[in-house]
């Protein structure tokens, strides 16, 4: 028998006042203001001779806060607008629509430049709080000062006819954007909204997105970069472009990219001896077995490919490129080539220009590229899984706001939260902090947010507010 006594004396009416929902989202708005992002965006989208009622930088920040809070449509901005006791005047849906419609190619370039300038300040604040920018880790190994940029494409499914939507290579219908993420801080560095039929290995798109991502990295940290992508994006043009980046004095740009298991690679693998294979590491840095159901191994193929059948199979590729092969027992349902069917192993290749390092470390470093899927998944829960308009211009501007929302959540974790929530995903942050209800109390010409003492994460939210207030004001 279910105990329903708790609701016997319960009634409901609309008429409360002095109470705000989603009060924790105000921390994100504070972060945007205290880091200087709001002011920088205002200058970036300002139009000469036009003074709007609602500053367009504020409107864009409010849209990003709404998306970070879980908003999926322009009308969700009502969550901020209808709580004027906390947020003050907030733009209407129509004003938000106009603000997004005003963001064209030129405005997006200016916004990107503004975000790069603010990111430099934010990284300074992060380094001051943590002693350094969080390092990327692979198999329990700290990559030190290396900043890792991960490139990957994804599918945005469209359930209605939208400009640019088309059939994708996966058989779905929608868009096929290309993304770049910082593995150290989880920030969104670049996002290019492309038609659904855009190619997975379009070198020009990858080069453009990579250049945009590098431009977002503060200058002192561009000296040691690692770029990773899967086999779909690993083209000769991209590799040559990354190689050319190393011509800049004082800069080192490494790459670790997927490589095609083509005829030349299969011929080289067939010449390997069993003793050539070396251990790979698991996620804790421990070697995995070379035999058994969970066996895996790695070997360098560069020498065989360079001297295959008396010729250099890699003659068109940079001379410092190294090719490695990983093998493991295939999972059920895996699609295998004839070679893999014959010997019972699944082979995966990757290429790098890192001259030093054992195969086990380089393989673990490349395998960590899979983390980009987590970044994309979190991005899709923060506005990037849904485009609100049939117009490409509005949707591109929406994606700009969504990537800003992703950054605000990252900055919240890195600048305002303690260890218990430092790695929390967006859904967790919303449930525990952003969606918290609180009271607004007025007195002595001030407003005070009163967080319920019974809320399990009240102290964490209060600490986040205090930390955001304590950030030095932008100059």
- What's the CA gap between 173 and 161, in Å, rounded? 9
**pLDDT tier, 459 (very low <50, low <70, confident <90, very high otherwise):** very high
Q: In the predicted model, is pLDDT for residue 309 greater than 70?
A: no
> Looking at residue 204, what is its pLDDT?
93
Q: In the predicted model, is pLDDT for residue 251 greater than 80?
A: yes
> Looking at residue 448, what is its pLDDT?
92
Decide which of 125 and 330 is more confident. Answer: 125
**pLDDT tier, 2 (very low <50, low <70, confident <90, very high otherwise):** low
Strand-pairing partners, residue 447, are 442
- What's the CA gap between 128 and 117, in Å, rounded? 17
Q: In the predicted model, is pLDDT for residue 100 greater than 90?
A: yes
Q: Which of 142, 209, 192 minimizes the C-alpha distance to 364? A: 142
Query: Which of the residue ranges 6-15, 82-91, 206-215, 296-305 has the most confident prediction, judged by mean pLDDT?
Result: 206-215
- What's the CA gap between 142 and 71, in Å, rounded? 36
Mean pLDDT to the nearest integer, 399-409: 98
Mean pLDDT to the nearest integer, 30-35: 96
Per cent of the chain over pLDDT 90 is: 69
> Looking at residue 338, what is its pLDDT?
81
Q: In the predicted model, is pLDDT for residue 311 greater than 70?
A: no
Mean pLDDT to the nearest integer, 109-123: 97
**pLDDT tier, 17 (very low <50, low <70, confident <90, very high otherwise):** confident
Q: In the predicted model, is pLDDT for residue 333 greater than 90?
A: no
pLDDT in tens, 343-370: 888 889 999 999 888 899 999 999 999 9
> Looking at residue 310, what is its pLDDT?
57
Q: Which of 147, 13, 31 minimizes the C-alpha distance to 465? A: 31
pTM tops 0.85, yes or no: yes
Query: Lowest mean pLDDT: which of 52-66, 232-246, 324-338?
Result: 324-338
Strand-pairing partners, residue 142, are 137
Q: Which of 106, 9, 57 minimizes the C-alpha distance to 474? A: 57
3-class SS of residue 86? helix
**pLDDT tier, 376 (very low <50, low <70, confident <90, very high otherwise):** very high
- What's the CA gap between 396 and 45, in Å, rounded? 15
> How much is the CA Rg of the chain, to the nearest whole Å?
25
DSSP string covering 160-217: S--TT-EE-TTS-EEE--EEEEETTT--EEEEE--BTT--TT-HHHHHHHHHHHHHHS
**pLDDT tier, 1 (very low <50, low <70, confident <90, very high otherwise):** low
Strand-pairing partners, residue 350, are 258, 324
Per-residue CA distances from 195 to 47, 100, 164, 172, 395 (Å): 29, 19, 5, 12, 12
Continuous segment of H or E residues that includes residue 63: helix 56-68
Parallel, antiparallel or unpaired: strands 224-229 and 252-259: parallel
- What's the CA gap between 364 and 370, in Å, rounded? 11
Cα 167 to the center of its chain, rounded Å: 25
**pLDDT tier, 400 (very low <50, low <70, confident <90, very high otherwise):** very high
Q: In the predicted model, is pLDDT for residue 120 greater than 90?
A: yes
Q: What angle do CA 50, 51, 56 make, to 5 degrees?
A: 100
What totals of helices (H) and strands (E) does the chain contain, helices first? 17, 17
Contact between 354 and 166 under an 8 Å Cβ cutoff? The reply is no
Q: In the predicted model, is pLDDT for residue 27 greater than 90?
A: yes
């Amino acid at each position: 028998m279910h105990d329903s006594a708790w609701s016997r004396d319960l009634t409901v009416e609309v008429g409360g006042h002095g109470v705000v929902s989603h009060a924790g989202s105000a921390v994100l708005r504070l972060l945007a203001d205290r880091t200087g992002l709001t002011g920088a965006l205002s200058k970036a989208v300002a139009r000469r001779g036009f003074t709007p009622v609602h500053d367009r930088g504020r409107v864009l920040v409010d849209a990003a806060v709404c998306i970070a809070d879980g908003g999926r449509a322009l009308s969700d901005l009502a969550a901020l607008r209808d709580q004027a006791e906390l947020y003050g005047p907030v733009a209407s849906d129509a004003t938000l629509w106009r603000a997004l419609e005003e963001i064209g190619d030129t405005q997006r370039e200016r916004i990107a430049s503004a975000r790069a300038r603010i990111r430099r300040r934010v990284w300074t604040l992060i380094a001051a709080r943590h002693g350094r920018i969080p390092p990327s880790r692979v198999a329990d190994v700290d990559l030190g000062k290396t900043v890792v940029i991960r490139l990957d494409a994804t599918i945005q499914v469209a359930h209605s006819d939208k400009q640019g939507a088309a059939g994708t290579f996966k058989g779905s219908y929608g868009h096929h954007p290309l993304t770049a993420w910082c593995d150290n801080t989880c920030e969104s560095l670049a996002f290019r909204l492309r038609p659904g039929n855009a190619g997975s290995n379009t070198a020009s798109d990858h080069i453009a997105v990579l250049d945009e991502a590098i431009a977002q990295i503060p200058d002192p940290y561009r000296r040691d970069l690692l770029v990773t992508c899967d086999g779909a994006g690993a083209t000769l043009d991209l590799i040559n472009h990354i190689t050319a980046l190393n011509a800049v004095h004082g800069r080192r740009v490494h790459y670790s990219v997927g490589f095609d298991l083509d005829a030349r690679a299969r011929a080289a693998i067939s010449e390997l001896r069993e003793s050539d294979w070396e251990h790979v590491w698991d996620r804790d840095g421990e070697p995995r077995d070379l035999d058994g159901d969970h066996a895996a191994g790695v070997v360098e193929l560069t020498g065989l490919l360079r001297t295959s059948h008396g010729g250099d199979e890699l003659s068109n590729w940079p001379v410092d490129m190294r090719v490695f092969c990983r093998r493991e027992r295939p999972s059920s349902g895996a699609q295998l080539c004839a070679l893999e069917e014959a010997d019972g192993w699944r082979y995966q290749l990757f290429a790098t220009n890192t001259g030093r390092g054992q195969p086990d470390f380089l393989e673990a470093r490349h395998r960590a590229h899979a983390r980009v899927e987590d970044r994309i998944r979190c991005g899709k829960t923060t506005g990037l899984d849904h485009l609100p308009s049939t117009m490409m211009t509005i949707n591109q501007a929406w994606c700009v706001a969504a990537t800003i929302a992703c950054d605000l959540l990252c900055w919240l974790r890195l600048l305002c939260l303690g260890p218990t929530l430092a790695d929390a995903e967006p859904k967790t942050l919303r449930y525990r902090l952003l969606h918290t209800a609180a009271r607004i109390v007025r007195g002595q010409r001030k407003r005070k947010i009163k967080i319920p003492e019974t809320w399990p994460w009240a102290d964490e939210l209060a600490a986040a507010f205090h930390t955001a207030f304590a950030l030095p004001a932008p100059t």
